[in-house]
Amino acid sequence: MINFNLRGNKTLIMGILNVTPDSFSDGGKYFSVESAINHAKKLIADGADILDIGAESTRPASKTISAAEEISRLEKILPAIKNLGVPISVDTYKPEVAEFSLNHGADIINDVHGLEDSRMVAVAEKFNAPVIAMHSEKCSDGEIIADIKNFFRRTSAKFNGQIIFDPGIGFGKTQKENLEIMRRLDELKILDGQKISLLIGVSRKSFIGWATGFPLEERDEATGAACIWAISKGVDIVRVHNVKMISRMCLMADKLKEDIFS
């Protein structure tokens, strides 16, 4: 089992590797085995601490694929990528895909459905694997931070392993709610008096375009600014496409957090 110590000064950089034909930012670019492996190596060379592999797009209105199709995409690349020297996360909400992935080199499950399926909980417990649990529900009580905290509590109660929580920017939220979550990330860092591990995924997302007017292909600098803001609010992991740029920005942010007089 990988156990992440997320109490140090280093923000972990999660590099996105989409082996899909239809992901919102880079769909089709790394769909072949060769291009996926080469990009994985580049992400690591650029500073990725974790690789997050997605074999099914989760963009709005994307086509749902079967577990068998998702597994067929993963089985072509997991053997080659598992020995590259960094932990592998697989972005899936299907228990069958999670079990296959953990059996074939993956270390972490990144569940955009936030462990709502009890079978996913059982798989994670079987492998003693860390889970990234994302909030993807529409706000039910008119107070988005309270709603997300309630989700964190429910999820913690059903799974005893290591959980890294993702507030789910862009999933089931209005653009104003996305910005409110970003502004109040520090409130999500503490749950019932205890610090929790947080991941943020803002890379090139539509709320950046909504706030700035930048088109999809011109959002990396704004992504970096959002990541720096998130680090200042206590986020432990940032999930990004442009690893080289963002990792360098995060390195400086981490240095600024250090106590230089200690």
Q: Catalytic site residues?
A: 205, 239
Please provide the size of the chain in residues: 262
What are the φ and ψ backbone dihedral angles of 145, each rounded to 5 degrees? -70, -45
Q: 194-195 and 190-191 as β-strands: parallel, antiparallel, unpaired? A: antiparallel
Give the gyration radius of the chain's Cα atoms.
17
Helical pair 220-232 and 175-183, crossing angle rounded to 10 deg? 40
Question: Is 185 in contact with 233 (CB distance < 8 Å)?
Answer: yes
Q: Tell me how far apart the alpha carbons of residues 181 and 167 are, in angstroms, rounded to a whole number.
A: 8
Distant-in-sequence contacts of 24-30, Cβ < 8 A, 24+ apart: 24/57, 24/59, 24/60, 24/204, 24/216, 25/203, 25/204, 25/216, 25/241, 26/241, 27/57
Q: Tell me how far apart the alpha carbons of residues 49 and 183 are, in angstroms, rounded to a whole number.
A: 26
Distance, C-alpha 13 to centroid of its chain:
10
Strand pairing partners for 196?
none
Q: Tell me how far apart the alpha carbons of residues 209 and 99 are, in angstroms, rounded to a whole number.
A: 36
